[in-house]
Amino acid sequence: MMTIDPLRDVEDRDAERGLALSGFCKSGCHVLLLAISVLSGSLSVFAAEEAFVTNEKDNTISVIDVATSEVVRKIATGSRPRGIVAAPDGSMIYVCASDANRIDFIDPLTGVIAASINDIPDPELIAVSPDGHFLYATNEEDNALSVIDVGARKVVSVIDVGVEPEGVAVSPGGHLVVVTSETTNMLHVVNAGTRQLLDNVLVGSRPRYAQFTPDGTKIWVSSEIGGTIAILDTASRRIVKEVRFEVAGIRGEQIQPVGIRFSPDGSRAYVALGPANRVAVVDTATGKVIKYVLVGVRVWHLALSKDGGKLFTTNGGSNDVTIIDTNRLTATKTLTVGRQPWGVATLQRK
């Protein structure tokens, strides 16, 4: 049996497959082995882990091989892709096509849009439940949170929240969903089981993003205009600490926190500082900034590799992605992607 090398010339592959298939009548077993070989060869061109970057102005996703730190392909999406998240099992990526008023379900291997959930007004960000059964999308124009049943591929609930909702996160246990509303300046807490609004908490000016700590005990909320991170106790839903940022040579109004990611062990938080063109590395125990890492222009959102060793930043003003080595806290590479990269999610093949 021949083993097909996916990097060979297409004509060589076709010829090789043709020769092997000619033996079909001789041995059904040989055909089965050939099919397995062809399938293995075709899938091996895809990386074990990839980062998916939404490009607002190009209506595309740039796909980055995490191991090689190279852009390997592009995927077409609906109009103005923004928020993006991967299914927990790695089988699908979900994308907010904001100007198309829909959520796209995209096969990460083929790039094919497998389904679209329509009539979701201006979806901004999206989160997935830990079991992968539900999606939660913020609808900026309708001041609401849409709950989508992934299996049924339909909206099953719409929950009213504050004005201009954007950030959304699900607790590690899947019991709570939180939403930030930019104009109301609040964090809204929703019971995921009953889909009832439990609480509204006043935070800093123009909250853009929320993230639970890995252990679920705290919620971090970034306030873009306020220039701060509010840290809330999940149980009491009270603010217990505030993180402020000061970057030498940068005016205070340019420091606009947006995206947040935690290291796998929860000891560090990485915060995108928007026009300050920096990512702040914060000690979560003390709330103190360890380091500011210079990245591209207008950094929006962040994603970590599975092992936590690489941090990917979307830089909307310079049309690129910065890759940070989190062990050395150093930017190691800049990759040109599409126009106005906004969201980013990593996916590891199971």
What digits encode the pLDDT tens for the residues 220-252? Answer: 999 999 999 999 999 999 999 999 999 999 999
The DSSP string of 61-106 is EEEEETTTTEEEEEEE-SSSEEEEEE-TTSS-EEEEEGGGTEEEEE
Cβ atoms 115, 122 nearer than 8 A: no
CA dist., res. 123 & res. 118, Å (int): 10
Q: Six-digit token pair at 60? A: 């595309």
What digits encode the pLDDT tens for the residues 267-299? Answer: 999 999 999 999 999 999 999 999 999 999 999
Cβ atoms 242, 207 nearer than 8 A: no
Rg (CA), the chain: 22
Q: Six-digit token pair at 13? A: 């592959």
Cβ atoms 268, 284 nearer than 8 A: yes
Residues with Cβ within 8 Å of 109's Cβ and at least 6 positions away in sequence, in order, are 43, 46
Between vectors from CA 331 to CA 209 and to CA 50, what angle results, nearest 5°? 65
Three-class SS of residue 143? Answer: coil
Residues with Cβ within 8 Å of 224's Cβ and at least 6 positions away in sequence, in order, are 182, 205, 206, 207, 208, 256, 257, 258, 274
Three-class SS of residue 335? Answer: strand
- Give residue 4's pLDDT band: very low, low, confident or very high (50, 70, 90): very low
Q: Six-digit token pair at 169? A: 């996160």
Cβ atoms 19, 1 nearer than 8 A: no
- pLDDT exceeds cutoff 60 at 26: no
What digits encode the pLDDT tens for the residues 121-165? Answer: 999 999 999 999 999 999 999 999 999 999 999 999 999 999 999
State the sign of the Cα–Cα–Cα–Cα dihedral 123, 126, 132, 134: negative
- pLDDT exceeds cutoff 80 at 168: yes
